[in-house]
Amino acid sequence: MRGHGPESDIVMSSRIRLARNLAEFPFIRKCTPKDRTAVATAVHRALDSLPLSADTEYVDVAKLGDLDRQFLMERQLISHELNESQGARAVILDPKERFSIMVNEEDHLRLQVMQSGLDLESAWKRMDQLDDQLESKLTYAFTKRLGYLTACPTNVGTGLRVSVMLHLPALVTTKQIDKVFRALNKINVAVRGLFGEGSQFMGDFYQISNQTTLGKSELGLVAKVQEVVPRLIEYERRARDFLVSESRQDLHDNVSRALGILCTAKKISSEETMHYLSKVRMGVNLGLIEDVKIPTVNKLFIHTQPAHLQKLCGRKLSVTDRNIERANYLQLHLSKRSENEKN
Amino acid sequence: MKCQHCEKPATFHITELTEPSGPTVLHLCEEHARTFLSADGTATPASALASLLAKQLKMEKVAEDLAISDKKTCPICGISFADFRKGGRLGCAYDYVAFEDELEPLLVNIHGALAHTGKVPTNQSGSPERQHRLMQLKSEMKEAITREDYETASRLRDKISSIESDDESSWTDDALDEDVDDEDEEDDTFQAEPPIV
């Protein structure tokens, strides 16, 4: 979410993931603790013999504390499942956060490639290369008929999930979002919240992704998601235009109040922050808020999450303390007045 | 439209193609559709129909079929189909072979397809059948060593290393059938398809 790339006012990021399993081990639910360790060791060893290991970090997730795990989850480098589960598990991190590889998640391997803005094809290209490199050292469970075999039959075949994170505040405000999602479901495109399956729709962020993985090629699946996104962008733009032309003053009032709350609140929850930041983001993109930059807003979405906030403060904080620190942090970064006062 | 057998609304419209006189259309309520399906037992057209209707019945198979499927167990990881249905996760790659019949309608329902058309790894030795065969040969070799039958053990060792050196012909179904016929007299338990427990 660095705030650049094609269509970055609406498309936050493009993400591609592959599910892979090692042929010589049972799937996760039947892995003994010894198996889990052996899978992690096999992957670690394979990685060490690859050129990409020079720039990556192998992180033993089981040894991380709660805060560090949650921090990685907030950055979407690990999933909720990897954060919560027990036993040997790991994540391989690219220092530039262009990709991460989870070990012993729902499948032995979950590879993901991230990209700012809308650029699925180049994300797939990088993923394909990453997968090729690992495959040269590991034997994946595969059959010609069903493709890559996965723990859940919903991922079998390509093991591919192509997703695009969209910011759709105007479709939410104009109450058209449900209609759009019903249409998407009909064409086998899934909609999820910010943190994937089962997560809440926070800050008007929606992840659009393919529902099926078998019977189409990887590029076919990429094309399917790619095809839907421009239409969603167009709907969101039309809804924004409608809001500007029909009720500019109300909209201006609404986004300015949101900024006002973020700049002046003394205690604020993560949820409330997301809610108002979303409005501010739309206000900035429509030219209604001038002195705040999109990269700042994007950064605040992440930095005001509980684990990030605690990392920034350098200590564990209670919920109340977090709400106070969050308000301080927002004030510091959003309000020029407060910056001047502090200086 | 009412059900042909009662006053309830007909929610299932079944076209029966098995009649010699040509297709017959049946209009049934949910209850009578179930009766119609279970009455036909395990005959092929009925099971084909059952898988079709499974979608309409929201994947609820006819109770009897389900009970039989649920008892099926994977010879490698040991999970039953019921275990899978409860947790939604398979136990090993061989489950796709062991529960092939059960998974097929599910895959059609989820993906609308049954054949992979995407990427193929250069290293294709990760087939579950191959893993199954290797496991089996290794356990046979252990047994042979235990009973001090070193001749069989060494033959099995050669076979294992031939499979491990990625000689595809050594573990395809044809080769497996031959293995069973021409070799191990004691080894008559191997089946290309795992036994239904």
How sure is the predictor about A193, in pLDDT bands with cuts at 50, 70 and 90?
confident
B79 and B46 both lie in a single domain: no
Distances (CA, A) of A297 to A272, A300, B50, B71, B138: 14, 5, 54, 55, 59
By the 10 Å C-beta count (0-12 exposed, 13-18 middle, 19+ buried), A334 is classed as buried
The answer to whether residue B190 is domain-embedded is no
How sure is the predictor about B42, in pLDDT bands with cuts at 50, 70 and 90?
very low
B149 and B165 both lie in a single domain: yes
Tens digits of residue pLDDT in B96-136:
999 999 999 999 999 999 999 999 998 888 888 888 888 88
Asked if the model's pLDDT at residue B170 lies above 90, the reply is: no
Mean pLDDT of A48-69: 90
Model pLDDT, residue B11: 67
Residue A301: name the closest of A12, A4, A102 by CA: A12
Mean pLDDT of A179-202: 76
List, as ranges, residues 168-197 from B with C-beta within 8 Å of A: none
B135 and B170 both lie in a single domain: yes
The answer to whether residue B5 is domain-embedded is no
Asked if the model's pLDDT at residue A199 lies above 60, the reply is: no
A-B C-beta contacts closer than 8 Å: 133
Which helix or strand (DSSP H or E) is residue B132 part of?
Answer: helix B128-146
Partner-chain contact A28 B107, CB within 8 Å: no
Domain end residue (candidates: B53, B85, B111): B111
B62 and B106 both lie in a single domain: no
Interface probe with B: pick from A139, A185, A189, A216, most Cβ of B within 10 Å: A139
B77 and B63 both lie in a single domain: no
- State the nearest Cα–Cα gap between B29 and chain A, in angstroms: 26
Amino acid of residue A32: T
B79 and B40 both lie in a single domain: no
Residue ranges of alpha helices (H) inside chain A are 33-48, 66-74, 80-84, 120-135, 169-173, 177-186, 218-264, 270-285, 294-303, 306-313, 319-334, 336-342
Partner-chain contact B116 A140, CB within 8 Å: no
B75 and B61 both lie in a single domain: no
The answer to whether residue B2 is domain-embedded is no
Asked if the model's pLDDT at residue B190 lies above 50, the reply is: no
Which residues neighbour A206 within 8 Å (Cβ) at sequence distance 6 or greater? A165, A166, A168, A177, A191, A192, A193
Of B111, B122, B129, the CB nearest to A157: B111
The answer to whether residue B35 is domain-embedded is yes
How sure is the predictor about A95, in pLDDT bands with cuts at 50, 70 and 90?
very high
Partner-chain contact B110 A21, CB within 8 Å: no
Of B88, B110, B117, the CB nearest to A217: B117
B155 and B137 both lie in a single domain: yes
Distances (CA, A) of B140 to A32, B126, B144: 23, 21, 6
ipTM, interface predicted TM-score of the complex = 0.87
- State the nearest Cα–Cα gap between B118 and chain A, in angstroms: 4
The answer to whether residue B193 is domain-embedded is no
The answer to whether residue B142 is domain-embedded is yes
- Domain of residue B89 covers 71-111
Residue A164: name the closest of A299, A278, A12 by CA: A12
Residue A216: name the closest of A156, A285, A132 by CA: A156
B105 and B138 both lie in a single domain: no
B153 and B168 both lie in a single domain: yes
Asked if the model's pLDDT at residue B181 lies above 90, the reply is: no
Q: Does B66 lie at the interface with A, CB-CB under 8 angstroms? A: no
Q: Does B145 lie at the interface with A, CB-CB under 8 angstroms? A: no
Partner-chain contact B117 A131, CB within 8 Å: no
The answer to whether residue B30 is domain-embedded is yes
Partner-chain contact B115 A142, CB within 8 Å: no
Number of independent structural domains in chain B: 3
How sure is the predictor about B13, in pLDDT bands with cuts at 50, 70 and 90?
low
List, as one string, the DSSP characters of A286-342: TTS--S--HHHHHHHHHHTSHHHHHHHHTS---HHHHHHHHHHHHHHHH-HHHHHHH
Q: Which residue has the higher pLDDT, A40 or A191?
A: A40
Distances (CA, A) of A126 to A129, A160, A228: 5, 14, 22
Distance CA B51, CA B107 (A): 11
Which helix or strand (DSSP H or E) is residue B14 part of?
Answer: strand B12-16
B52 and B16 both lie in a single domain: yes
CA dihedral A40, A42, A43, A44 (to 10 degrees): 80
Q: With a threshold of 0.95, does the pTM exceed it?
A: no
Q: Which residues of B120-157 are buried (b: 16+ CB within 10 A; e: fewer)?
A: ebeebbbbbbbbbbbebbeebbeebeeeeeeebbebbb
Interface probe with A: pick from B84, B100, B111, most Cβ of A within 10 Å: B111
Distances (CA, A) of B143 to B115, B133, B177, B188: 39, 15, 21, 15
The answer to whether residue B172 is domain-embedded is yes
Distance CA A214, CA A157 (A): 4
B106 and B136 both lie in a single domain: no
Partner-chain contact B122 A157, CB within 8 Å: no
Partner-chain contact A216 B124, CB within 8 Å: no
List, as ranges, residues 116-135 from B with C-beta within 8 Å of A: 116-131
Instruction: Tell me which of A30-44, A220-234, B64-78, B164-178 is least confident.
Output: B164-178
Partner-chain contact A23 B115, CB within 8 Å: no
Q: Does B107 lie at the interface with A, CB-CB under 8 angstroms? A: yes
